[in-house]
Amino acid sequence: MPQRIFNFSAGPAVLPVEVLEEARESLLSLGNTGIGILEHSHRGKAFVAVYEETEALCRELAGIPANYKVLFLQGGASSQFFMIPMNLLQQGATADYLVTGAWSQSAVKEAQKFGTVHISCSSEDQNFSYIPGTAEFTPGAAYAHFTSNNTIFGTQFAAPPDYTGDSLIVDASSDIFSRPIDVSRYGMIYAGAQKNLGPAGVTLVIVRDDIIERGPTTLPTMLQYRTHAKNQSMYNTPPTFGIYLMGLVFKWIKKQGGLTAMETINREKALKLYQHLDNSPVFKPTARPDSRSMMNVTFVTGNAELDDKFIKITQKAGLDGLKGHRSVGGMRASIYNAFPSAGVDALIEIMKSFEKEQAL
Ligand SMILES: Cc1ncc(COP(=O)(O)O)c(C=O)c1O
């Protein structure tokens, strides 16, 4: 087998090797069932046990209260952009959106198809390089929606916004379970799995019971949260492999020490990279210091040709996925939960030799 390299991809992203090794075994036989994980019926005893264990681990890791459901849906986080307003934004009502990047903008676009959107704050004036300090909430709004980590722009809310209502919704696709989360502050938390939780194709939704019941019963059955809540995400065939793999990732997170330990490890990795960038004569981080993401570290040289040259050097050295998103340019190091600290060290070493070379 070829050697694995350091994968800085923003998503789908690196997964823990021990998770992949266990999954490899399960492809041929899940435990001693003689049937692979991809081949098990979702109604059978073996898969139901997998499902129950995945949900239980999810609840344990995040301390999810009993009045919240854990759903495993399909259609990516992008489908939540319309499913949320379809269920929660009745005609004539207003929803608040905090706009801190391209994904929040996509969520706004979808919500506008169903009701009035009030932009509570926006950092578009400076190409989304910061998290606004304040947000203006509409009294009586149906809900408030924000993106906790902006994958493309490398910014992250250090803490949830100052919102006092009971319907705060977060798109946590790129930082879910990277740090502890107080679920009781939220009406709903959702995330595509493919960055911190598992493979593409499954979307984790943690939603409070009263929110589930707000949706009109006239919506298509598959688009009502209550359908999935009542049927343990098995109204139709769920993404069985994704649920299985998420369970393995949860077990791995638990072994690392849970979300508190994950946060310590993630901060260590990110802070050493930012520290190098802050002192670099060649590279500079693009996010404002108080808004920096612990998951996606974005940086530039200030010269597109030099950026390209650096990216080519990293690729030759076995560091993949460092090219920044086209709307920001430069470089982006995505260092999610499963990204090894040794990969950050390798990147810093390459930066150091590049800096020396530039000084000549
Ligand atoms: C913050 C955020 N939200 C939403 C999405 C879209 O997710 P999906 O591709 O699962 O629809 C992404 C994808 O990168 C993301 O980073």
Which tens digit of pLDDT belongs to each residue from 253-303?
A: 999 999 999 999 999 999 999 999 999 999 999 999 999 999 999 999 999
pLDDT tens by residue, 321-338 = 999 999 899 999 999 999
CA dist., res. 184 & res. 68, Å (int): 9
The pLDDT assigned to 1 comes to 76
Is pLDDT of 181 > 80? yes
User: Which of 69, 96, 175, 195 does the annotation list as catalytic?
Assistant: 195
pLDDT over 70 percentage in the chain: 100
Query: Predicted confidence band at 168 (pLDDT cuts at 50, 70, 90)?
Result: very high
Catalytic site includes residue 252? no
pLDDT band at 134 (very low <50, low <70, confident <90, very high): very high
Please say if 171 is a catalytic residue: yes
Q: Is 171 in the pocket of ligand 1 (CB under 6 A)?
A: yes
Domains 17-255 and 258-359 share a fold: no
How remote is the C-alpha of 113 from its chain's centroid? 25
Residue bearing the CA closest to ligand 1, atom 16:
151
Residues 95, 72 contacting (CB under 8 angstroms): no
Show the tokens assigned to 50. Answer: 């997998």
The CA 195 to ligand 1 mean position distance, Å, reads 9
> What is the pLDDT averaged over residues 120-134?
98
- Chain segment 71-88, per-residue pLDDT in tens: 999 999 999 999 999 999
What pTM value is reported for the model? Answer: 0.98
Q: Inter-axis angle of helices 45-62 and 258-278, to 10 degrees?
A: 60
Please state which of the four CATH numbers 3.90.1150.10, 3.30.300.30, 1.10.3720.10, 3.40.50.11820 is assigned to the domain occupying 258-359.
3.90.1150.10
Whether the predicted pLDDT of 225 surpasses 90: yes
The whole-number pLDDT of residue 91 equals: 85
- pLDDT given at position 360: 83
Q: In this model, does residue 117 exceed pLDDT 90? A: yes
| Domain positions in the chain | 17-255, 258-359
- The topology under which CATH files domain 17-255 is Aspartate Aminotransferase; domain 2 (3.40.640)
Q: SS3 of 56, please?
A: helix
pLDDT tens digits along 24-52:
999 999 999 999 999 999 999 999 999 99
Residue 240 — φ and ψ, nearest 5°? -60, -45
Residue minimizing CA distance to atom 10 of ligand 1: 76
Residues 6+ apart with CB under 8 A from 131: 100, 123, 155, 156, 157, 158, 288, 290, 291
d(CA 280, CA 6): 22
Paired with 97 in beta bridges are: 119, 145
Instruction: Return the pLDDT at 327.
Output: 87
pLDDT at residue 2 greater than cutoff 90: no
Sequence length of the chain is 360
